[in-house]
Structure 1
Amino acid sequence: MMTEHIPENWTAKPLKEITDFVIGGDWGEPTTSTNGNYKEVLCIRGSDFKHWNIHKGANALSRFVKSASFEKRKLIAGDIIIEISGGGPDQPVGRVILFDEEAAKKLGIEKVCSNFLRLLRLSDSVSKAYVFYYLQFLYITGEVVKYQGGSNNLRNLKYPAYSGIKIPLPPIEEQKQISDILDRAFQHIEVLKPKLDYFLERITKFRRTVVAYGISGKFIDDSFDANIIPITIGHINNNAPPGWKWTKLTTIAKLESGHTPRKSVDAYWDNGNIPWISLQDIRLAHGKIISETKLMTNEKGIANSSARILPKGTVCLSRDISVGFTTVMGREMATSQHFANWICGECIHNMYLLYAFMASRYSLIASSTGTTVGSIYMPALKDMYILLPPIDVQYSIAKKIEDLLKIAQDMENQYQSVKTKVDKIPLALLTKTFNGKLV
């Protein structure tokens, strides 16, 4: 790749021709007896690749490897570590990191890489950092997929074929110059990414605070308790603001279950025109009005199952697997059996109920039962109580929450816009580099 049109003064050599030494890693043992045949080291794993330029192996695990194995596999500055096993559908193997002087000195403990990784030691005739960036370029562009095999859940790098990849090589001094420029650029990017992540965390926290404050009535009266849980199962919290009351949910909203038309019968899904909410939809729809779904059933699917077409405005609560996620139907829809659905009466505003479920989510998760998958079963759903203000206050609270959540969404849209631009920088830089246009 990229070697057909390299600048005139560049050459191209297979990776194996510029490699002095290659060896697989050693995962070692968690503990060992003190018989002198083992050495305590830090073992770098694939999970340590993320934000490598910031932590440089400080998150690696302490392990014990046999002394003879350590002598062969001890990492030294300039080594490249390649992921040769692991990955998945959305993350191919072939990720690379450069083990530099800072990583070698980190924590003052010697290091090896795990058996899912491979140590690659290059010849002194090339810049280690330059070759590392080219291997990273192969990964970012997806070219590395050509060199992997295995199942969806466990991918393996076909290293013999991978080692035949031709590396475009400018003169050594230019390699070093290019590496220095890329080092500075990627350091800035690595510093920026956690800041963006932190910004997203703050937006998430802002959303939770808005819902908790709003649904407690604290936007109306600052003396109200923002920590009160507005929906409970089987008991009532006596700490209610003046004029508010605890009400059994089934007395003010009709509870409906969902169902799944048989997936093996194509006739129940062909030309589907009835949106059907599944667990595949709920995370993206959480806290919002949903109008489109990934799957749609038809009248025959509804007629031959226990699924029901529910009216626009119905509040849906996922009651198992993804407990506590909630949405409101933006049109007539059906749902899977994983949802409890509430058709609101005149004295409860559906958006207020949505936000009350959101504010109570973690309490509902804690109340769910089941050994492997938590569930809120029908008896518990029928025994839910909600802290309810007068209907006009419900509308006022819901409107205030909605307005503030729109601000949060605007902030998230800005975050996504910036993140998209930042994510494009590495590929743009590396493409320019290996087209010979960076220097």
Structure 2
Amino acid sequence: MEKKLPVAWVECEFKELTSFVIGGDWGKDPDGEYENETELVACIRGSEIKNWDKEKGSTSTIRKIKPTSLKKRALKTGDILIEISGGGPDQPVGRTIYIDEEAIAVNSDYEKVCTNFLRLIRFYEPLNSRFIEKYLTSFYLSGEVVKYQGGSNNLRNLKYKEFETITIPLPPLPEQQRIVAKLDSLFAHLEEVKSRLDKVPELLKQFRQSVLTQAVTGKLTEEWRKGKEFESFKAYNQRINQIRQSYYDDSLVNWKSDIAAWKENGEIGKRPVRPVKLKELPEVEKWEYDDYGDLPIEWGWTRFNDVTYKIGDIDHKMPKDFEGGIPYLSTGNLKSSEDIDFENAKTISREDYIALSRKIKPEKDDIIFPRYGTIGRNIYVSFDKEFLVSYSCAIVKNIKNEIDPKFVYYVSLSQLTKKEIQKYVVQTTQANIGISSIEKFLFPLAPIEEQAEIVRRIEGLFSKADAIESIYEQLKTQIDNLPQALLAKAFKGALAEQLPSDGDARELLEEINKLKEETKKKK
């Protein structure tokens, strides 16, 4: 059951309280020359609304309007502006801003007006216009405003004639003032809390990067390493090279077998792709890693190419859409390892899937390395599923029996790799990096036993960060919803005290009606 308003409150239509309503004036180019006299003004647009509380219209644009227009539209303290055109699919029209002394003082060399996408509203003197503006904000946040808008998805229009008939719960003036003061105090406190809370994501980002930096330099496992014996870096590195060579040799044997079968079948279909010969990259020289500091003596520097079977991309051909087919992901579908958007991905035919993946395809324990735009926002494939990623991504094939794939993945996310990216990235209209450059990246190789411990520690610390992030998200949602809850409470008469000495809002309405009559007589 809906709570009734306090006894001294009254409900009335919004239009009963307005003394002056006029549309804005966008004016003309400030650098133009015109026959009629014009004056420079600061014109407040809809784009100023979002950051109004902080910027107070400091980003408003300078225009020229006629003196007669300025005389009617010059803003003053206590005015309210309401958005009558704008909005979009996710943002209804009807947002409001309150013009206070601070807003008037901004760009003080110019008088202020609003654009024709806004409407200027003034109220009769016995009212607190900030109280009205806060109610309009509450009305907007409640979602009720959508009932009063029309237009297309890209441009919404407020049906003002209908909107001005909305009902306003009106308390006596002293209570209006107490409600405004109370809301201002609570909102100021909320802003302080939000300001502190807004630092959490960046702090967590820094924490995760710090963990990765400690991990790839050996500092994270410094104590764990003490007293343990490991295979030498030289021996481990040679063993990896032998495994890579064996992988290539086996691939070559399989290819020769595939070629023979292809010829036997009359060379139908695409010729099997010959495995790419292992690249012999130059050994890492000291000058290349001087800026990264020393590694533990059990570790050594190598290259990204030399800790993987291969790094490559699919054929550079854009396949056609095929409904219900195999997912074909672009970088836009790759949010994180835990958030791959298969649902909205393009799908392709099996024929295209087979043709495009002849050189390489993503499989479990591979790493997807975006090469365009979001370079280095890498994805670890932790699942078995048929899919492809576009050639805007490299696919990293891990030597998973000899090098922990997740160790390679975490190195690829570290600041060290980000610095390597900056060495080779090509800055054009869209930043990009070649596969041959990725292959050259420096890689700090730890003993296999230590890799597993590093992964365990990283994931333990990341799990704690994730838990904090989850709490942060819950708190943020609660705090984001608080203004609406406080406003709703205020306009039910449950936020500020009602005092017998306040009088009755009906008396206030009578006073407003007298002012209306006096105004009519003067006209």
TM range, normalised to the smaller chain?
Answer: 0.7 to 0.9
Deviations 1:79-124 (A, max 9, x none): 1122333333322222212112233234645433344433222232
- Partner of 1:272 in structure 2? none
1:15 aligns with 2:71: no
Match runs of 1:311-322 below 5 Å: 311-322=363-374
- Partner of 2:460 in structure 1? 403
Asked if the contact 2:368–2:381 (Cα under 8 Å) also holds between the matched residues in 1, the reply is: yes
Aligned-partner Cα distance in 1 for 2:65–2:345: 58
One-letter amino acid of the structure 1 residue matched with residue 446 of structure 2: P
Asked if the contact 1:28–1:64 (Cα under 8 Å) also holds between the matched residues in 2, the reply is: yes
Aligned-partner Cα distance in 1 for 2:3–2:460: 56
- Tell me the secondary structure at the aligned position of residue 104 of structure 1: helix
Match runs of 1:99-138 below 5 Å: 99-106=99-106, 108-109=108-109, 110-138=111-139
Deviations 1:297-324 (A, max 9, x none): 99x8445423576432221122224332
One-letter amino acid of the structure 2 residue matched with residue 314 of structure 1: D
- Partner of 1:343 in structure 2? 397
One-letter amino acid of the structure 1 residue matched with residue 64 of structure 2: V
- Partner of 2:275 in structure 1? none
One-letter amino acid of the structure 2 residue matched with residue 66 of structure 1: I
1:353 aligns with 2:408: yes
By how many angstroms is 1:17 displaced? 3.2
Structure 2 stretches of 5 or more lacking a match?
A: 224-280, 497-523
Q: 1:248 to 1:21 in 2, by over 3 A?
A: closer
One-letter amino acid of the structure 2 residue matched with residue 344 of structure 1: N
Q: 1:46 to 1:125 in 2, by over 3 A?
A: same
Aligned-partner Cα distance in 1 for 2:106–2:146: 32
By how many angstroms is 1:77 displaced? 0.9
Deviations 1:205-237 (A, max 9, x none): 333333334334454679xxxxxxxxxx99962
Q: 1:116 to 1:160 in 2, by over 3 A?
A: same
By how many angstroms is 1:132 displaced? 0.7
Aligned-partner Cα distance in 2 for 1:126–1:200: 42
Aligned-partner Cα distance in 2 for 1:216–1:45: 52
- Partner of 1:24 in structure 2? 24
By how many angstroms is 1:394 displaced? 3.5
One-letter amino acid of the structure 1 residue matched with residue 163 of structure 2: Y
Asked if the contact 2:489–2:495 (Cα under 8 Å) also holds between the matched residues in 1, the reply is: yes
Asked if the contact 2:308–2:396 (Cα under 8 Å) also holds between the matched residues in 1, the reply is: no
- Tell me the secondary structure at the aligned position of residue 21 of structure 1: strand
Larger Rg: 2
- Tell me the secondary structure at the aligned position of residue 266 of structure 1: coil
By how many angstroms is 1:369 displaced? 4.2
Q: 1:302 to 1:366 in 2, by over 3 A?
A: farther
Deviations 1:5-44 (A, max 9, x none): 6555443333333221222253764657899955555443
- Partner of 2:146 in structure 1? 145
Asked if the contact 2:283–2:302 (Cα under 8 Å) also holds between the matched residues in 1, the reply is: no
Match runs of 1:32-431 below 5 Å: 39-50=39-50, 52-57=52-57, 59-61=58-60, 63-66=62-65, 68=67, 69-106=69-106, 108-109=108-109, 110-219=111-220, 237-239=288-290, 241-242=294-295, 243-249=299-305, 252-257=308-313, 264-268=321-325, 277-283=329-335, 285=336, 288-289=337-338, 293-295=342-344, 301-305=349-353, 306=356, 310-333=362-385, 334-337=387-390, 338-345=392-399, 346-359=401-414, 360-361=417-418, 364=421, 367-369=424-426, 371-381=428-438, 383-392=439-448, 393-431=450-488
Measured on the aligned residues, the alpha-carbon RMSD in Å equals 3.9
Q: 1:216 to 1:185 in 2, by over 3 A?
A: same
**Which deviates further from its counterpart, 32-41 or 63-72?**
32-41
- Partner of 2:504 in structure 1? none
Aligned-partner Cα distance in 2 for 1:157–1:235: 68
TM-score, normalisation: structure 2: 0.68
Aligned-partner Cα distance in 2 for 1:49–1:125: 27
Report how many aligned residue pairs link the two structures: 417
Asked if the contact 1:324–1:365 (Cα under 8 Å) also holds between the matched residues in 2, the reply is: no
Aligned-partner Cα distance in 2 for 1:364–1:72: 58
Aligned-partner Cα distance in 1 for 2:139–2:440: 55
Asked if the contact 1:79–1:120 (Cα under 8 Å) also holds between the matched residues in 2, the reply is: yes
- Tell me the secondary structure at the aligned position of residue 124 of structure 1: coil
- Partner of 2:261 in structure 1? none
One-letter amino acid of the structure 2 residue matched with residue 185 of structure 1: L
Q: Considering fraction of residues, name the structure with more strand.
A: 1
- Partner of 1:433 in structure 2? 490
Aligned-partner Cα distance in 2 for 1:182–1:369: 52
One-letter amino acid of the structure 2 residue matched with residue 203 of structure 1: L
